[in-house]
Amino acid sequence: MKYLVMCLVVLFNVACGEQAPIERRVAFIQSSDQVVVEEATETTKKKPLETPEESLPPVVTVPEPGLEPTPPTLEEVIQLGLDAIDLEIIKEELTYISSDEHEGRLSGTKGNETIADYLIGHLEDLGVSPGLESGYLQEFRIQNGPTSGQGTANIVGVIRGQDEVLKDEYIVIGAHMDHAGMLSKGYTCSSGDRDSNQICNGADDNGSGTIGLLNVTKALAKVQKHLKRSVVVIWFSGEELGLEGSWHYVRNPIFPLEKTVYMMNLDMIGYAHTNQQRVSGLGGGTSSAAENFIKELDDKYDLTVDITAQAGGGSDHVPFMAEGIPGVFFHTGVANNPNYHKTSDTAEKISYEGLTTIAEMSFELIHYVANNEESFSVPVGVAGTSIKRAPLVTKAEQAQSCHHLILNPYVEKMSSFMQSGKKNP
């Protein structure tokens, strides 16, 4: 009789929609981020059956083919990049790298190394890829000046282009991060209005170009998926000692020179206010397409760009142009900076409005070159030539030279050649 009663109880529960206890149940609950596993306990009971309407799966709306998100316009892409360039942040960054604690950033010294680490940190934060398999540093040994024999390095990063073909063409954007050090152990530096201070801070030369390049890089990193060509970012060391870093790169290129279509150099861009908002665009005439676009930017921004076809100027664009690579060297001038190579070249004297504008203009120029499908590889007047590499700058030549003038006799020859349009230098 006891067993008969138990059977009747079970039959009654089934009839009422219940089920005998089960040992385990696993349900997968989908969320937007993860799959959550829910485990049942010993006492979990099956819910009553739902009505047909309640048990239907949710309706999923599939977008029609023509309703995909609209790609941003060119104006929106440009604005996205420009939003990454901020005057107040530029001021903070330049004040830091040109502060006394870095003792003039002479190549081969701790101050120069500290700034290199600072810039690499920014590249990592921006997601800019290292230029070398080993990292961001292209190391070399200094040949001239008070730190001759010491090791130093260029910093190299790359923002990869997205076009299947043009991503293997490269635009180099560069600036030198070193300066002249201190009066007691520096190089080509003299006292200014801070006679009691021994440090040549180099806010304009070339803290301005260093931070200008950093902010152009920020803007380009923001719009990377809208770039066809790849952009190689280089902070050169050893510029003050004879363009050592840029010559080293050209002799030991990380990315093929024959695939390098343009080079932009930023050096001393902090004194536009002393020259009626003018900036030199040395070598800008080596590419007619880029030159025409620079003229358009000239109209857009509150700056006047003086474009020349010269390859001179004694800065890091020279080795690239000597290889037949077109480009431009933006520069607000030595004559306009009374603090040039003096202890008085400090951050509070910089025109941050002008520096910010040059950074914005430079970003727009590189975005244009990266996306213009015409060839930039042959500069005006140099088609069909094979330009020899210049020899190393010797100590004797360096002793006779002046920074931002002709550092190498070959460069003077190259400048005349670029202006003449002849087919052989």
pLDDT in tens, 264-322: 999 999 999 877 889 999 999 899 899 999 999 988 998 899 999 876 778 999 999 99
Contact 331, 280 (CB under 8 A): yes
Top-confidence residue, 41 or 105: 105
Nearest to 386 by CA among 331, 322, 309, 294: 322
Contact 39, 33 (CB under 8 A): no
pLDDT at 103: 94
Contact 207, 182 (CB under 8 A): no
pLDDT at 29 over 60: no
pLDDT digits 0-9 by tens, 120-171: 999 999 999 999 999 999 999 999 999 999 999 999 999 999 999 999 999 9
pLDDT at 401 over 60: no
pLDDT at 280: 93
Q: Quick one: 74-415 is in which CATH superfamily?
A: Zn peptidases (3.40.630.10)
Contact 351, 271 (CB under 8 A): yes
Nearest to 202 by CA among 295, 102, 301: 102
pLDDT at 424: 26
What are the two backbone dihedrals, phi and then psi, of residue 157, each rounded to the nearest 5 degrees? -130, 165
For 321-362, the DSSP string reads: HHTT--EEEEE--STT-TTTTBTT--GGGS-HHHHHHHHHHH
pLDDT grade, residue 411 (50/70/90)? very low
Contact 227, 367 (CB under 8 A): yes
| Burial category of 68 from C-beta neighbours within 10 Å (exposed 0-12, middle 13-18, buried 19 and up) | exposed
Whole-number mean pLDDT of the chain? 79
pLDDT grade, residue 67 (50/70/90)? low
Chain-centroid distance of CA 93 in Å reads 15
Strand partners, 327: 263
- Write down the domain spans for the chain: 74-415
pLDDT at 374 over 90: no
pTM of the predicted structure, to 2 decimals:
0.76
